[in-house]
Chains A and B, each alone.
Chain A
């Protein structure tokens, strides 16, 4: 991923993943590193769309809130993302959907996050390793 977009994405992580009690906080480096891998393995079309959405998000924020998305206070950032998701215009709803795909995937792929959600991957891995099924 180009450095420019990696930097932007790192700063967008808290906009998308709000800290909530009982859950590990988001790790912008982990998210950026996964997003890099996800975009490289994916289609050129999605890659282009993703980069475009980073720019469009900022443009929409400047137009509607009068300030950069990266400088919105948490409450307002949340409200902004929520307004996009519930917009009547499908194109606006597509912005957070596209951006959120690698961001949410990366965060909820973490072992510590999955364990906290009751999906004990360590236990499952141990169980699976001990249970080789042969034909």
Chain B
């Protein structure tokens, strides 16, 4: 059942085999797999539950309802980078673009060689990916609904000799409504809120919404449950309390909240790696004023890619922006802003994603567990790659006939042709001169590895320090992935569910223990009644 706080008469205290914190790419698959295996599963989700009818094409409202801190979460540093995260049933998958890519081979090799993760075999991962792709209806974006913006870019990249194609996405019968990041209004996108979570619930799992987990209960080095509280959806004030005792605790709160929880609980900290090793895939975006209408934002926002420069760590991927988002992306105000916005139907957009080489970030404990501080320093090499990605996008847009290209670089906000282009290509950028950067893939802050002194979780995703505490979300990815991470997080979650199942199978489960206790209590009760009847002279019925 999906449970809202207003339907609860008071505090909740209960038992389960498994309690999962977070219902996104990590938590969703684990909840489904274990509920379907017959275990009693409780999911705790801080955000609310929304259905397709609630998604109304208003991007700004989606920020306040579906995103953590109305999407104002920022990685501090030069430059500051916005790192949006979902906070709703389905986690960030509910607001993501639906791209589903497998881990690149060279990255998996690095995991094997540098992090001792040889037991995560390529064949095993491929089996998991295949199963997930079938379950999530993953297929290449349909050119019919890919959107003019994306098609134009791909076509002209091709003419310049750059390789690219249509992205694989987890959407069934997608009509290209163009608002994946604000909740899919047709239910086409197979985010966890319409796939894993409903299936987990159908198999008996309970999902508590508007409920924030605060304490991980640990006794004698073993996780034994979770304590948290509900919040009033309107005011955010604390309401009822929740305590779940369980044989296994799974922490899937995402790469920023998960380390924060560990820090505030003071557990699993001795390796020194909790919160360290943050990578985010910094993203740049370009806007281009085209001579023709590009049909914004209709069409799949992220339907195409250009991977010619992937070996250098640059991936170009489509993006379309609804008016409310384009309006905050433009680097001007006043009349110029209003006039440019009036040209909205003619403005195309595309994004780039950098796979980190020399940037580094970390999450540290903030004033409260809810508000950790995130720091990120864009390295010189990565800054140069970011600039190169912007030049590449500008080159492709100009080849497609753009009149002007708008960039997020001070001094080069508007490129009008080859001269500006050359000026930018010669410039040595300062970190402070790029602004409005964003990043959508925080990962690595509780990294997985074979060395307990250099990692937080084992290759099974169980923490080295607290038995029966598993972490499964973007935080366990040991390196920057270079591609969109959700499918890999889901594959690791399926794998982890298998290890939890093995663990629970070999030990009496809370459910079994509870059943045994209940039977014992019933026997004691009937024996007491029998004694009472004997004492009062009644005969025992046979």
> A82's contact among B185, B190, B327, B333, by CB below 8 Å, is which?
B333
Interface core residue of B59, B63, B190, B194 (most chain A CB under 10 Å)? B63
Quick check: A105 and B72 within 8 Å, CB to CB? Answer: no
Specify the chain B residue showing the minimal Cβ separation from A100: B333
Specify the chain A residue showing the minimal Cβ separation from B57: A121
Report if A82-B332 is in contact (Cβ < 8 Å); known contacts: A108-B324, A125-B185, A133-B186.
yes
The stretch among B266-274, B338-346, B415-423, B501-509 that forms the contact with chain A is: B338-346
**Minimal beta-carbon separation of A48 from chain B (angstroms):** 12
**Minimal beta-carbon separation of A35 from chain B (angstroms):** 10
Within 8 A of A (CB), among B376-413: 410
**Minimal beta-carbon separation of B429 from chain A (angstroms):** 13
Does A2 make an interface contact (CB < 8 A)? no
Does A101 make an interface contact (CB < 8 A)? yes
Residues of A within 8 A of B325 (CB): 105
Quick check: B187 and A117 within 8 Å, CB to CB? Answer: no
Report if A132-B335 is in contact (Cβ < 8 Å); known contacts: A43-B72, A43-B371.
no
Does A90 make an interface contact (CB < 8 A)? yes
Q: How far is the CA of A22 from the CA of B344 in the complex (A)?
A: 13
Does A128 make an interface contact (CB < 8 A)? yes
Specify the chain B residue showing the minimal Cβ separation from A107: B327
Within 8 A of B (CB), among A1-54: 15-20, 22-23, 34, 37-38, 40-46
* Binary interface encoding of chain A residues 73-114 relative to chain B, with 1 for a CB under 8 A from any of its CBs, else 0: 000011001101100001001001100110011111101011
Within 8 A of A (CB), among B44-91: 52-53, 55-61, 63-65, 69-70, 72-74
Residues of A within 8 A of B131 (CB): none
Does A66 make an interface contact (CB < 8 A)? no
Quick check: B323 and A117 within 8 Å, CB to CB? Answer: yes
Residues of A within 8 A of B435 (CB): 90, 93, 97
Total interface residues on B, CB under 8 Å, equals: 60
Q: How far is the CA of A20 from the CA of B336 in the complex (A)?
A: 10
Quick check: A124 and B177 within 8 Å, CB to CB? Answer: yes
Report if A128-B185 is in contact (Cβ < 8 Å); known contacts: A38-B64, A133-B172.
yes
Quick check: B185 and A96 within 8 Å, CB to CB? Answer: no
Q: How far is the CA of A107 from the CA of B65 in the complex (A)?
A: 18
Quick check: B334 and A78 within 8 Å, CB to CB? Answer: yes
> A108's contact among B56, B188, B327, by CB below 8 Å, is which?
B327
Quick check: B69 and A20 within 8 Å, CB to CB? Answer: no
Does B279 make an interface contact (CB < 8 A)? no
Quick check: B186 and A132 within 8 Å, CB to CB? Answer: yes
Report if A128-B52 is in contact (Cβ < 8 Å); known contacts: A41-B64, A46-B72, A85-B331.
yes
> A43's contact among B73, B186, B190, B297, by CB below 8 Å, is which?
B73
What bracket does the count of chain A residues touching chain B fall in? 35 or more
Quick check: B326 and A108 within 8 Å, CB to CB? Answer: yes
Quick check: A41 and B69 within 8 Å, CB to CB? Answer: yes
Residues of A within 8 A of B338 (CB): 17-20, 23
Does B240 make an interface contact (CB < 8 A)? no
* Binary interface encoding of chain B residues 291-315 relative to chain A, with 1 for a CB under 8 A from any of its CBs, else 0: 0010111100000000000000000
* Binary interface encoding of chain A residues 114-127 relative to chain B, with 1 for a CB under 8 A from any of its CBs, else 0: 10011101001101
Interface core residue of A20, A46, A97, A128 (most chain B CB under 10 Å)? A128
Residues of B within 8 A of A16 (CB): 333-334, 337
Residues of A within 8 A of B297 (CB): 119
Residues of A within 8 A of B326 (CB): 108
**Minimal beta-carbon separation of B435 from chain A (angstroms):** 7
* Binary interface encoding of chain B residues 510-521 relative to chain A, with 1 for a CB under 8 A from any of its CBs, else 0: 000000000000
Q: How far is the CA of A37 from the CA of B63 in the complex (A)?
A: 10
Residues of A within 8 A of B339 (CB): 20
Q: How far is the CA of A16 from the CA of B190 in the complex (A)?
A: 39
Quick check: A113 and B73 within 8 Å, CB to CB? Answer: no
Does B155 make an interface contact (CB < 8 A)? no
Quick check: B185 and A105 within 8 Å, CB to CB? Answer: no
> B323's contact among A45, A85, A90, A113, by CB below 8 Å, is which?
A113
Residues of A within 8 A of B296 (CB): 118-119
Quick check: B341 and A117 within 8 Å, CB to CB? Answer: yes
Q: How far is the CA of A119 from the CA of B436 in the complex (A)?
A: 24
Q: How far is the CA of A100 from the CA of B433 in the complex (A)?
A: 19
**Minimal beta-carbon separation of B447 from chain A (angstroms):** 26
Q: Which 4 A-B pairs have the closest CB atoms?
A: A128-B185, A109-B60, A104-B327, A78-B334
- 12 inter-chain pairs at a CB distance below 8 angstroms, sorted by A residue, are A17-B338, A23-B338, A45-B72, A81-B333, A81-B334, A85-B332, A97-B436, A109-B58, A119-B57, A119-B344, A121-B57, A132-B186
For the A-B complex with A15-B334, A78-B335, A81-B333 known, give 11 more contacts whose Cβ atoms are closer than 8 Å: A18-B334, A22-B342, A41-B65, A42-B69, A42-B70, A90-B435, A93-B435, A104-B328, A106-B324, A109-B323, A128-B55
